[in-house]
Structure 1
């Protein structure tokens, strides 16, 4: 790999890490934002929902946009968008405006994630596998150390720092990208002559609108009922509207020629469906712990942001240590044994949460975090391998997009879960109930992995 390729890899790496970094740093700031804006946990959880919903929509759309407008342009536009959002978010006059800038930040960072891998794959031809693995380290490493960075920033400064910290990364990535990413080739005439109507049909705007509005309406109905403590006509109307719109979304996706989420693929390939269901459940488990533990530590156990960040570091470090071990294991034995052990680790971690009580040492939460961290390291490799096993070779691009959508749906559902279970104010009892629910989900994953492993052995014999 020559010097220019190395600098290009660093430029792209600094850009793509911003999405996982910003999605993970916020976990430490939830308690502080609750106090600043006088919100309950249900209300402040929209800072999580908004980011993941926007990412779920923006990444596939920006992937298609890069084919029309060019990957370099999309990447640089994403950097500028992220810079503006990170600069303006701390100046938000209300929580509503903070959500708006958080959405803009999500769209900007999603632009870079959507095209970063493609830029590296196209322009770095020597030792390409090594280059892509380095880019994966940028992504997973940023997610792993995000809570620790967030804890340090909140300890020495205040919550605006978790937005301002993006600016040096954006500036470095922009300067390096401007010099190292080759200019985009002129788009094909078919792309340049495409009408607005055809472009909107290509990205499936009706499907995007139905999915987004339906999901938001359903979340509003569920969370507002939980927050108010009773079910009103408005809650029921919002929830039913969301369900109707999501049903319309499913109907639309099955009929349209260029679906936002190709649901027909699930019906055609049942094994692929199960992989995505398992991946969604894995992300519900992981992110419910990821966002639930910091709020429990700060609001129930009165641990500082700095020390919360240090405790959360055990989650990320265990995940990073387990990933290379999982790679060798999956190469030798396939994905199912690793997924089975991962489910057992999550079951143990959830059971540990259930046993915690107000007199338990605060550091004991690291046992659960370590178990979930190791399981996440196993899952990050084994789930990807299971996806490739169940996916037809000619559809790897499509199925990878569906896979990422399953990830975001899992994170959204995890936020909904902790919003409902932990309610307006986290408590030891609510945290224990969260552990019980996570244990049930983890046991379901153990059963699925065991069943698929047994059926795979029978097929081999």
Structure 2
């Protein structure tokens, strides 16, 4: 009797290590924003650009890298991009001022953009080769790896800052980059079949980038006197849509996307879910250090319950390809987490703060895995790399919105009043997520 074909296990290590490069840099930075601000003498509204720089680059880089993966296969893009991560780490570690540090984060964003679409492309290719339908175990492994890094990141960041200052959270990218390049060189297939057609839409990329940048320049300081940035973003956005509808091989195929309502709702849920995720990661953490008076190491340890809750939820639900229940539960628990944040203050006991973190961690585990599985089922197989890249873009659009919210509510420091205003904002976002979730629930 013929043995069934199995997923090539050698692919798992480079896929997992590469996919966690962005989450580890996101989560380590959460406990470093206050020390970096103190080092350069700037408030949270300026250090927020360290978050924004990474995610602007990644929001553009993910679909670009995804499209290139579709065209040329995962191996070359994976190796080039992960090499950039090491260069960005060195630049950040040696940065003499905040501007250079932001530049290193931008480079880091591009460098971390290829691994996830490469992984999704490899999963799809292996599924075709083996006849697997939805490889739930592999998809959940990716999600769990990202959640585990969310556990390690803040704590590791706090320990590194305690050992040698904030510079070390950039230096660690050098060995991580080397590991990725070695694993990718050894085990990624040399001649992966190209699934896509057409070339790269440079005009679409430029318009998409300009729209995001002008939007964020306004959102980081939303004032009436800066109205022109909002108008510019709207004009550029309209130009982007028009251009994409006229190009034969667009950067983002809006015609296909427009006819795929379930996929649009999946992208919408991902944006809203990660506004919540990153508002807790950055906003709550900055408040723990400045408003609650904890050190970077202590704040990192206090985030462990949040991330452990996300990991456990993902581990227990990961082998099931079911989507509906995860989405409903994830959106409702996010409402509870935002509500809980309204009632914390400078004298709140540590155990209650840890409990708030546990509540916030549950929707992280549920929403990310459910939306990832939904995308795998809903996306066009010939554009799985770019579709997966766009899903990650939605993650970083959520992060950009949360960075703008943090910059606004913590304009004069990470105060308790600012945290409560952020909680009200999160209640609105989580309420919208409930509505979008109930519009059309995937099976």
Same fold, TM-score > 0.5, yes or no: yes
Match of 1:195 in 2: none
Q: 1:381–1:13: structure 2 CA closer, same or farther, 3 Å change rule?
A: closer
Q: 1:127 to 1:169 in 2, by over 3 A?
A: farther
- SS of the residue 2:252 aligns to: coil
Shift of 1:98: 1.2
The answer as to whether partners of 1:78 and 1:109 remain within 8 angstroms in 2 is yes
- On the 8 A contact 2:74/2:118 being kept in 1, the answer is yes
Deviation at 1:138, TM superposition (A): 3.0
Contact 2:278-2:399 at 8 Å conserved across structures = yes
Describe the shift of the 1:60–1:402 C-alpha distance in structure 2 as closer, same or farther (beyond 3 A).
closer
1:420 is matched with 408
Please give the alpha-carbon distance, in whole angstroms, between the structure 1 residues aligned to 2:417 and 2:43: 17
Superposition deviation, residue 399 in structure 1:
4.4
Aligned residues, how many? 435
1:206-233: CA deviation from partner (whole Å, max 9, x where unpaired): 111112122212222332456xxxx43x
TM-score w.r.t. the length of structure 1 is: 0.84
Counterparts of 1:266-285 in structure 2 under 5 Å? 266-285=257-276
Residue of structure 1 aligned with 2:218, choices 218, 221, 236: 221
Work out whether residues 323 and 377 of structure 1, in 8 Å CA contact, stay in contact via their aligned partners in 2: yes
1:324 aligns with 2:327: no
Offset of 1:51 from its aligned partner? 1.0
Give secondary structure in 1 for the equivalent of 2:342: helix
Distance in 2 (alpha carbons) for counterparts of 1:449 and 1:67 = 30
Q: Provide the C-alpha distance between the structure 2 equivalents of 1:14 and 1:64, rounded to a whole number of angstroms.
A: 21
Larger RCO of the pair (alpha carbons < 8 Å, separation 6+): 2
Q: Distance in 1 between matches of 2:139 and 2:260?
A: 28
Alignment of 1:41-440 (within 5 A): 41-66=44-69, 71-119=74-122, 129=135, 133-184=140-191, 202-225=199-222, 231-232=224-225, 235-327=226-318, 331=321, 334-387=322-375, 399-440=387-428
CA shift, 1:352, in A, is 1.0
Give 1:57 shift: 1.5
- On the 8 A contact 1:41/1:426 being kept in 2, the answer is yes
Inter-partner Cα distance in structure 2 for 1:15 and 1:368: 30
Show structure 2 runs of 5+ residues with no match. none
- In structure 2, the residue matched to 1:194 is none
TM-superposed CA distance for 1:389, in Å, is 6.1
Shift of 1:269: 2.9
CA shift at 1:370, angstroms? Answer: 0.9
The alpha-carbon distance between structure 1 residues 308 and 67, as it changes in their structure 2 partners (threshold 3 A), is: same
Report the equivalent of 1:17: 20
Distance 1:254 1:78 in 2: 29
Q: 1:445 pairs with 416, 433, 437, which one? A: 433
On the 8 A contact 2:62/2:390 being kept in 1, the answer is no
Matched residue SS, 2:32: helix
Separation in 1 of the partners of 2:237 and 2:146? 31
Secondary structure (helix, strand or coil) at the match of 1:45 reads helix
DSSP-derived class of the 1:110 partner: coil
Deviation, 1:70, is: 5.0
Shift of 1:347: 1.4
Which structure has greater helix proportion?
1
C-alpha deviation, 1:31, in angstroms: 1.0
Alpha carbons of 1:262 and 1:140: their partners in 2 closer, same or farther (altered >3 Å)? farther
Shift of 1:116: 3.7
- Whether the aligned pair in 2 keeps the contact of 1:219 and 1:239 (CA below 8 Å) is no
Q: CA RMSD in A?
A: 3.3
Q: Which runs of 5+ in 1 are unaligned?
A: 192-197
Deviation at 1:11, TM superposition (A): 3.8
When structure 1 is superposed on structure 2, of 172-181 and 208-217 the one drifting more is 172-181
Instruction: State the 1:74 CA deviation.
Output: 2.3
- Give deviations 1:158-185, integer Å, cap 9, x for gaps: 1111111122222233333333334347
Q: Which has the larger radius of gyration?
A: 1
